[in-house]
Structure 1
């Protein structure tokens, strides 16, 4: 039996690596398990979304449109106009509902990448490093190769695109950005966007802006979005697509509801692809999504919970870890190599064994590129549980770090 040859290029997902790392370990039975490893929202789903799902059972009797209902696309357009202070995108041509940003990030590359026009090697998909592993899989399965640009701590973890050779830029067809970033929580500035747009103009690649963490932030200033940056710089949305989701914003990761918006020609081609791919959103999910995008009260309440957690936990962890409050998102990205030279994998394994707390090694979220793995000697902690559980985990981590320092 034969399979698609590009499947062999895919690496195990970070959580599969974590499972292998913990193999054979019996955690300390004195502690209940606490996981900060997976970025899965665990605040309760809003009641208004549950009610909308239950009240739309009658919609199951008809096939949904791949383009989504007009009501859904209009609700997304209205939310975008209010959130980003931009003219509402054309709901008919510039917005497309998707089954969560994850599947859209992957399938978008199938629409964008043209392996037949590559010169001097396969086309490239440029990714930040560390990165969301879907970017890499999307590159390989579209017939391209990923090219990683390492996050620079001195630039608030923004990739330094000035280090990329001209010969590389000439092969780039798609560039992924993630702002707020996973795992760093860093937000791109207007100057960062200006640089990216100028590079896109020069080399003709598409920018895919992953903005699924945009509604979790810790100051009064909401993170800048890609389409918003384009408007502020007097641009249209040429070669620009943003992706967003209800998963983190509204605590409904199981709903699998998001959207893409931007360049109308890309949206048109993506709709064609998705029509054949069978990617229409469940009509009940569409009805619930309309309600979710039209309500901000539950989003503000959710953001308040995260702010309260990070205000309590970040200073506590900073007593022993090299960590600081991020710009946004729900991760803490901490250095650990100052603790007796311990590696990120050694830290995660020993913490799990002694204190039954799970964190994700940073090296699992990055690739060796340009001589380094920029995730090495860091850990990612997802503060997604209720505050009491996160606080208990933080106290155990501090105790563990003090053991390492003694």
Structure 2
């Protein structure tokens, strides 16, 4: 019976690949670490810093007043206005260019929105190609497949920037949407204005949607140099109305509230209107108490600066501990280290590291796909410096001792 249902279901389901963490569990299955030290998962990017008290208080305060009402897909006007204010402040947007009623849409986190945007906005019969960076967040690929699209990988290579010059015009003509992640997961690279300008010119010839995943944008290391965002790049390019462009932001990393499942989409009003119509039927409106907590979070920057300072300190520890023995490119933002593996075998390194130290990292090939030009994820592991400082410090020291023996 089940096979009959699958046979008549979405054909994209059969093309989905195992999620990275499923592959990791299989890789480590049956291995019992020799170390008596506490196991440390550096494999998953789930923030472990404390949830700010004022956000939890706003959440609790909103529960009683919101349980008896259906929330609207568009969210509370106050929340949209608060998000628009934050966008103006953070990215230097001119007031008239960001209208909370036309350019902003709350979402149940970036994962939900990044998946849904492809279902809503591509036409697989005419423009089936969905471009995405390689390595990448696997939601991009799954969204493309389940929308009836065709994923097309853009290798980022050592520089962390997709190569737009390697794409022929006929491929761009078939493109319905391009996903980009800036700051990047896993490299931490920020896409510069020159990249966006080149992409804008290509987009205006072919008419696809630019979807920028910016969920790591607030975890930068230099307080004087916050990462460029797509909407700011549009403004610099005099791109009125953010034509063809959408950004996706989240509170999960910025404010240490992954369980709140809250973020937003912003950009082109025509695309926002179409996306809102889709999401009204999808039924993913944020509950009122989540909206109240979200508004409190977007209005406060003190906890975000403190969060950045904590990550900055951990990255300094990582440099002091690993950089001389396992050199890597310092990320511009985010909380990942994209570590080249001594010897080049990321799966073997991951297994041996776990067996010896109890530390879990993610093989780079689980975040990428092989291409004719090679597999840009192979030969790396991703470390997520999300645990508290003392735990990260201990894990980094264990890693150093292991690498000294591994080499």
Q: Tell me the TM-score normalised to structure 1 length.
A: 0.96
State the match for 1:189 in structure 2: 192
State the match for 2:367 in structure 1: 365
1:262 aligns with 2:264: no
Question: What SS class does the counterpart of residue 138 from structure 1 fall into?
Answer: helix
- Structure 1 residue 167 displacement after superposition: 2.1
Question: What SS class does the counterpart of residue 2 from structure 1 fall into?
Answer: helix
Contact 1:318 1:324 in 2 (8 A): no
Runs of 4+ in structure 1 deviating by more than 4 angstroms, as ranges, are none
- Structure 1 residue 312 displacement after superposition: 1.5
2:391 corresponds to which of 378, 389, 396: 389
State the match for 2:339 in structure 1: 334
1:222 aligns with 2:226: yes
1:43 corresponds to which of 42, 49, 56: 49
Question: What SS class does the counterpart of residue 303 from structure 2 fall into?
Answer: helix
Contact 1:111 1:270 in 2 (8 A): yes
Q: Deviations over 1:48-76 (max 9, x none)?
A: 10000111121111110010000100000
State the match for 2:81 in structure 1: 74
State the match for 1:234 in structure 2: 238
Contact 2:177 2:208 in 1 (8 A): yes
Contact 1:100 1:258 in 2 (8 A): yes
Q: Tell me the TM-score normalised to structure 2 length.
A: 0.96
State the match for 1:87 in structure 2: 94
State the match for 2:133 in structure 1: 128
Q: How does 1:22-33 map to 2 (within 5 A)?
A: 22-33=28-39
1:245 corresponds to which of 233, 250, 253: 250
State the match for 2:118 in structure 1: 109
Counterpart-to-counterpart distance in 2, 1:135 and 1:264: 22
- Structure 1 residue 29 displacement after superposition: 4.1
Counterpart-to-counterpart distance in 2, 1:324 and 1:128: 18
State the match for 1:297 in structure 2: 302
- Structure 1 residue 404 displacement after superposition: 1.5
State the match for 1:286 in structure 2: 291
Counterpart-to-counterpart distance in 2, 1:143 and 1:234: 34
Taking only aligned residues, the RMSD between alpha carbons, in angstroms, comes to 1.0
Counterpart-to-counterpart distance in 1, 2:69 and 2:169: 51
Contact 2:11 2:146 in 1 (8 A): no
- Structure 1 residue 342 displacement after superposition: 4.4
State the match for 2:164 in structure 1: 161
Q: Deviations over 1:253-288 (max 9, x none)?
A: 000000000010110011110111101111100011
Question: What SS class does the counterpart of residue 149 from structure 1 fall into?
Answer: strand
Contact 1:212 1:245 in 2 (8 A): yes
Question: What SS class does the counterpart of residue 330 from structure 2 fall into?
Answer: coil
Contact 2:314 2:385 in 1 (8 A): yes
State the match for 2:177 in structure 1: 174
Contact 1:113 1:143 in 2 (8 A): no
Structure 2 residue ranges without an equivalent (≥5): none
Q: Deviations over 1:215-243 (max 9, x none)?
A: 00111200000000000111121110000
1:12 aligns with 2:18: yes
- Structure 1 residue 161 displacement after superposition: 0.9
- Structure 1 residue 42 displacement after superposition: 0.5
Counterpart-to-counterpart distance in 1, 2:217 and 2:200: 20
Counterpart-to-counterpart distance in 2, 1:83 and 1:247: 17
- Structure 1 residue 326 displacement after superposition: 0.6
State the match for 2:157 in structure 1: 152
Q: Deviations over 1:349-368 (max 9, x none)?
A: 00000110000000100000
Question: What SS class does the counterpart of residue 201 from structure 2 fall into?
Answer: helix
